[in-house]
A and B are shown apart, each in its own frame.
Chain A
Amino acid sequence: MHQSILNHRRYLWLWVSIALLAVSLFAYIWHEPVGPPNGGSWLGYTLGTIGALLILWLMYFGVRKRRFRSNLGSTRGWLSAHVYLGTSLVLIALWHSGFQFGWNIHTLALVLMFVVIASGFFGVYAYLRYPSLMTQNRENATRDAMLEEIRELDKSALQLADQVDKQIHDVVLRSIQRTKLGGGVWDQLNARDASDMALLKLREAVLNYTPERPKTTGSSATMVMMVDFLASGAANDKQGEALRKLLDTMSRKRSLASRVARDIQLQALMEVWLYLHVPLSFALLGALVAHVVSVFFYW
């Protein structure tokens, strides 16, 4: 079975998290605090310490994943633990707080933590789903190979266009110049690229193109006229052939371009959530420090 971050080592970290949550739940139910459950009871302090240490260890993943030489477990193992223990933090923090909320730094830390974890859920989804989508989309090619093929198609399109008419050649040339794959954040995430519009325009121009029939002089000799006619007829066949081939080339380029755009999109989706997950986890770190210090400052 495919080994993923979820079933790594037969769901080892899932069981660890469930065990941690079971023990905490049992303690929470059994414990009778003075007054309502809160972070200041001995169980509250214990769960708070566990939660804070967990948060620090979870953030350390950013360091571990960049230490390529490290043998301390595998990166995938660390990520599996990161995901499961990070999810368990939801309940640990709620039990630590005794479900007390207010407009203060303490609940701010909790909310930041929830947002970080929620963005992490999207990350898990992205990491499980998008790689196989990317592989399917690439159809055994690489992105560079696809881009190279697009360049080749450009060249042959120009040549074919040249065989039809210089007007077509001009249009194709302009379209190639204007075709740029990629874009800003929004464009990348929406698999949009400038090539779409350029190709549409090109398609229009090509479909609307009617080869100019050379004018036959009315009083020319029939032979000349026939030769002319034959010549123009034969030229029309060749042009027609080139035109058909050009349209095929354009279609192929169009599908390649959209596959490249989809490739870019999937990769962007796999990365975009981290721009929320990581900065907010640092905000959480700051709020956590403020929370812990304030609790002991006004003990």
Chain B
Amino acid sequence: MPHLGEFMKWLIRRAVRKGKGAIQYEEEIHFGEILQIGRSASQAIFLNDIRAALEHATVTAERSGRYRVESLIAAGVRIDGSIRQGATIGAGSTIEIGTTRITMIKPPEGYEAAVEVTQIDKDEIKARDAATRLPTTLSETWLSGRRPAWILFVLALVVGLALPVLAHYASRSAGKPDIPGRSLWETGELAQAHHYFGQDCRQCHEKAFVAAKDDKCLACHGATEAHADPVKFPMFELAKADCAYCHRDHNGPQGLIIHDQSLCSDCHTNLAARTKSAQVADIGDFAEKHSQFYVNLPAWNEAGEFKPVRTSMDKRPLMELSGLKFPHEKHLGAVDGLQSPTGKRVLECASCHQPEAGGAKMKPVDFESMCQDCHRLSFDRNIPDREMPHANVAEVRYRLNEFYARAALDGSYRDQTLLPPTLQRRRPGQEVTASERQDVVSWANRMTLQRTDAMFMGNCQMCHTVTVNAGADLSNMYTVAPVRVAGVWYGKSEFTHARHETMSCDSCHAAAASKTSADVLIPEISNCRECHAGEGAKGKLESTCTACHGFHQAPYPLKQPHPVADEFTAKEQSASTAP
């Protein structure tokens, strides 16, 4: 290799564009190891471009045939497309400054190094600027509208539609719903009682696009009763209304039973227009349009069967013929108590009226535990501790007879003078002769007759009404009027004392002032209206129909084909669908 130094010869070839695409080449020679590039006149390659520094860069030819490019300014020089401070390049590489491109080329014969100087095409410069410039609008950034839109759309359909549908059809195959997703479709919580099977939607929603039908409800609720006699009231609503007309699930834990007043009042405010056989008065809001209560007053028919009479509480005179004489005032009114065999005793409501388990109604009043302490059934002053059983006439006679017979036989009767002479002072173990036996029987009979007469016509009349049956035999001598003190007063509504236990008994039952048992001490509607009013009431309890009444309470099957009702409903349906 020749020694490189001042005798190094550079070929500088300039490409000059002439008109019509013709290019003319101008060549010049530069001597020296270093090729200077810049805007100064002293530079080997002069660039008349303000973007070039006076002394912008140098190219040094190296021994190996490669070139070393160095930038003389901090701004650097674009070597092979990127701006650098320096690089070692070979033939084919380019140096760009402003709009001038300097390409290293293979030196031809006689030269040690060669470059070609060209002007960069304007379009190429534009293209490069466009490629390197930063985005100036959002559409040039990574932000996209279309792709996220598609992704979200498909995702919503897969998660919200495809998965639950799959879960529906797969749910019965393995016996358990394995594919999740249907809980996404739940529009509201199921009623509490349905939770134990509610995970499996197909228990009620068997088929797709088919509403849950009554057979699904009746599978468990088959014993539900009808609302009214379908024969007497052949109404379409009663005979054919679906369960779902009133009972909609997925409305929360308490949502299955509707308490809206309108559900009842829609028909009951004008029942006469809907059915001719209606006997119930028109009912609406409890405070404004509810008739007086009808109470079941005790009564007995000709055959002696208990048949209570439904009586309006407005009836005058309103009397409870319970068969018992009992003044509450006497029993409750004594200030420091009543005289009782065991001392002074103060009576209060709870002394006789105890609620049943559950607290709905009061237990029946029990004579033996509540009354007998004071109202003794002693029948013979000679044996004051001995009492008659509180039983019917026959039983009483029988017991007394037994007692007196025994007393005659074993000599225990205190007043022996009452005994027949043959039986007086009998010693224990003494044998009884036949005639003595006769005497015992007739004496016992006589005593029994005497005592029962005394009791039934005397003591028992204190509370009971006893009539003598003239001419009847001994076993039928007296008739005690039947007694019904406690029972079901309001048979068509549900009242429970348990919800009212914070109140005192006398706030509803005027017992303290009642002098006779003919007083009906059961409260009527104005008493309840002191606290209860209808739907939307202000200042009172909102009590709609379902607060006291049930719907399914007529003892007829809910869904049963009935010729009258079905014919009626068929007629109605054809009338409604007729053009």
* Residues of chain A whose beta carbon lies under 8 Å from any beta carbon of chain B: 32, 34-36, 38-40, 100, 102, 104-106, 108, 155, 158-159, 162, 166, 169-171, 173-174, 176-177, 180-185, 187-188, 193-194, 264, 267-268, 271-272, 274-275, 278-287, 289-291, 293-299
Contacts and interface: CB of A to CB of B under 8 A. Distances in A.
Contacts of B152: 279-280, 282-283, 286
Nearest to A270: B138
Given A171-B74, A185-B138, A283-B153, A298 B248 contact: no
B74 A283 contact: no
Given A173-B73, A290-B157, A275 B134 contact: no
Given A38-B251, A166-B55, A282-B150, A102 B138 contact: no
B541 interface: no
A181 B258 contact: no
Nearest to A158: B50
8 smallest beta-carbon distances between A and B, as pairs: A286-B156, A290-B160, A283-B152, A182-B136, A182-B134, A279-B148, A174-B75, A290-B161
Q: Specify the main secondary structure of chain B where it touches its partner.
A: loop
B168 interface: yes
Contacts of A296: 209
Contacts of B128: none
25 contacts: A38-B187, A100-B188, A102-B187, A105-B160, A162-B50, A162-B54, A169-B54, A169-B73, A173-B51, A173-B75, A174-B73, A182-B134, A182-B136, A184-B141, A184-B142, A264-B137, A271-B139, A272-B143, A283-B149, A286-B152, A290-B157, A290-B159, A293-B161, A297-B209, A299-B209
A24 B187 CA distance: 22
A36 B161 contact: no
User: Could you say which of B142, B152, B210, B255 has the most chain A C-beta atoms within 10 Å of its C-beta?
Assistant: B152
B185 interface: yes
Contacts of B477: none
Interface in B148-180: 148-157, 159-161, 164-165, 168
Q: Specify the main secondary structure of chain A where it touches its partner.
A: helix
A177 B161 contact: no
Contacts of A193: 134
B53 interface: yes
B188 A290 contact: no
Contacts of A297: 165, 168, 185, 205, 208-209
A102 B185 CA distance: 10
Nearest to A290: B160
B145 interface: yes
B260 A183 contact: no
A251 B393 CA distance: 128
Given A173-B53, A290-B160, A184 B246 contact: no
A271 B143 CA distance: 11
Given A177-B83, A264-B137, A299 B156 contact: no
Given A159-B50, A177-B75, A108 B160 contact: yes
B260 A180 contact: no
Given A158-B51, A173-B51, A105 B184 contact: yes
A267 B212 CA distance: 55
Contacts of B135: 182-184, 188
B50 A155 contact: yes
B40 to A, nearest CB: 9
B50 A294 contact: no
Interface in B255-283: 255, 258, 260, 262-263
B129 to A, nearest CB: 10
A188 B145 contact: no
User: Could you say which of B53, B74, B149, B187 has the most chain A C-beta atoms within 10 Å of its C-beta?
Assistant: B187
A267 B137 contact: yes
B126 interface: no
B50 A185 contact: no
